[in-house]
Amino acid sequence: MRLLLIKLLFGLLAISALAGCAQIHTTQAGVVGINRSQSMMLSSQEVEQASAKSYAQQVNKASNEGELNADPAMAKRVRTISNRLIAQVGIFRPDAASWKWEVNVMQNEETNAYAMAGGKIMVYSGLITKLQLTDAELAAVIGHEISHALREHSRESMSRAYAQQMGLSIVGALAGLNKAQTDLASLATDITLSKPNSRTMESEADLMGLELMARAGYDPRAAVNVWNKMIAAGNKGGLEFLSTHPSGDTRIQELQKSIPQVLPLYEVAKKS
């Protein structure tokens, strides 16, 4: 028993060592002032490759089931809005302009959207049709998701989950148990589609999304409208988007507080 406790203690020390991840800044601050350092254990390349594999699986599945870009007009609309937003990403990180961006629409009644690492965007048709989103409101949603990709929030979350799994594997190995294997593509899918982001991550995506949409010529005040619509729809019987994107009065207040910062950018953009 004592030997096992010693082994377990050693394993816990190993977990603590794993917590010493690299501290980096993934983006420039922009006018909204995003400057938090992030703890990363996995590399951008690892996470982007895993995300590309996961996204390809989702695209292939949707295509085989006849759900991929089934409404050409809707797909064109989503891509037009997305491309205007993508054209502004250099303000936060110049390298993102050369990412292999992909934008697709899945014919699905779920009210959902996501952007995976490296610029892989998926919008569900239910999000547009059920909430009757205007172009500016849709830009708020897509800009928010693009911001998650720019900040590499999935890499941050995957690094944390990977470190925990590695630590458990170490403890298990020291205790004579089988070592667990981590499939990064599956982890990317789970993190993106199932796990809620932290409040800090959501706030960063909100603020960066405001700036992106303003620079792209979309009225940032529409962001408040779309979150109100989401909350109302959620209260009526469930909204998938809110399961991984927590919202509330405080969030809307933060958006309203930050809108004056980006309104001048919108005024300039709409004149050009």
Task: Just list the catalytic residues.
Answer: 145
Phi, psi of 194 (to 5 degrees): -120, -35
Is there a contact between 49 and 190 (Cβ–Cβ < 8 Å)? no
Amino acid at 36: R
CA–CA separation, 51 vs 266, rounded Å?
32
* 230: Cα separation from own chain's centroid: 17
Residue 70 has what DSSP assignment?
Answer: -
Map residue 38 onto helix, strand or coil. Answer: strand
Is there a contact between 221 and 143 (Cβ–Cβ < 8 Å)? no
Instruction: Of 226, 157, 228, give the one whose Cα is nearest residue 195.
Output: 157
CA 21 vs CA 10, 37, 42: distances in Å: 19, 11, 9
CA–CA separation, 185 vs 153, rounded Å?
15
CA–CA separation, 232 vs 31, rounded Å?
30
Q: Are strands 102-106 and 120-124 parallel, antiparallel or unpaired?
A: parallel
Is there a contact between 160 and 102 (Cβ–Cβ < 8 Å)? no
